[in-house]
Structure 1
């Protein structure tokens, strides 16, 4: 089982160790960070997060409750109280945990926080079109593809396109009810 816990300064070394090359940093953060990822940069990233009364971003580490090991990272940001919407960002499963279903569990946990605790109506995300394993994970969690933003990020000699995906609260509730049967 996965539990999402607030990402804190104590978690910086693990995340920095996972993101050990420029391409992975770009895939994980878009243009938010420059390589190398450092503790100084991460201090800014978590400033003002995880306060249910005032934050527009919630940054989590994913912990495997059976082992106590941190296995990933995920954030729920761009929170709009007016639109009851947010965006899943910076999803990463650590090297040793990949291919074991953790991504799906992390997404489900984040959706539960968004729809149950934060009372959102819509959660969106963007994923680079070449990341087919992530796209499959998001589809299995109930996200629907809504469009493609072509050539949005330049990397080395090419461009990356972004697949936009979203899920609405009634769709999520319907999936939850079906899973209970």
Structure 2
């Protein structure tokens, strides 16, 4: 099982250690950061986050419940109370030994639960580069639906990366989890 805890400055070095090359950094963060990732850049990234009533972003580390080991990172940003929407971003199963063990699904389901149940959102979306087939499969297993592809949105070296947009709506979340209007179906 995976639990999500707020990402703090105490977690900076572990995340920096996971992201050791420019391609992984760009795949994880798009154009948000430049290589190398530093504590100063991560301090800026955390400014104004992790205060649900006021922040437009919640940033988490993923912790394996049994071992207490931090195995990943995820954020729920672009939180719009006006539109009841948010965007999942910066998803990383950083501990390579944890890959293929359901960590990504645990992180996605955890952040969807926070968004739909705790924040009362209507829509949660994300973007994933089209070559990241493992992530796409994970998101689909969690119930995310493909909305379309934005072609050649990011330049990496001499190549362009295309982005698949995916989303889930609150009624889809309720249907997947046996809930109706905030209550369990009996």
Task: Give the shorter-chain TM-score range.
Answer: over 0.9
Query: What pairs with 1:81-160 in structure 2 (closer than 5 Å)?
Result: 81-94=81-94, 95-160=96-161
Deviations along 1:104-159, whole A, 9 cap, x unmatched? 01100000000000000000000000000000000010000001000000001110
Q: Report the Cα distance in structure 1 between the residues aligned to 2:126 and 2:31, rounded to whole angstroms.
A: 15
1:5 alignment partner, SS class? strand
**TM-score where L is the length of structure 2:** 0.95
1:44 alignment partner, SS class? helix
2:53 alignment partner, SS class? coil
2:137 alignment partner, SS class? helix
Q: Give the corresponding residue for 1:174.
A: 175
2:109 alignment partner, SS class? helix
Q: Give the corresponding residue for 2:9.
A: 9
Cα drift, residue 96 of structure 1: 2.1
Q: Give the corresponding residue for 2:182.
A: none
2:36 alignment partner, SS class? coil
RMSD: 1.2
1:134 alignment partner, SS class? helix
Q: Give the corresponding residue for 1:71.
A: 71
Unaligned 5+ runs, structure 1: none
How many correspondences in the alignment?
Answer: 180
Q: Give the corresponding residue for 2:23.
A: 23
1:124 alignment partner, SS class? strand
Q: Which runs of 4+ in 1 moved over 2 A?
A: none
1:87 alignment partner, SS class? strand
Deviations along 1:35-94, whole A, 9 cap, x unmatched? 000001000000110101210000000001100000000000000001000000000001
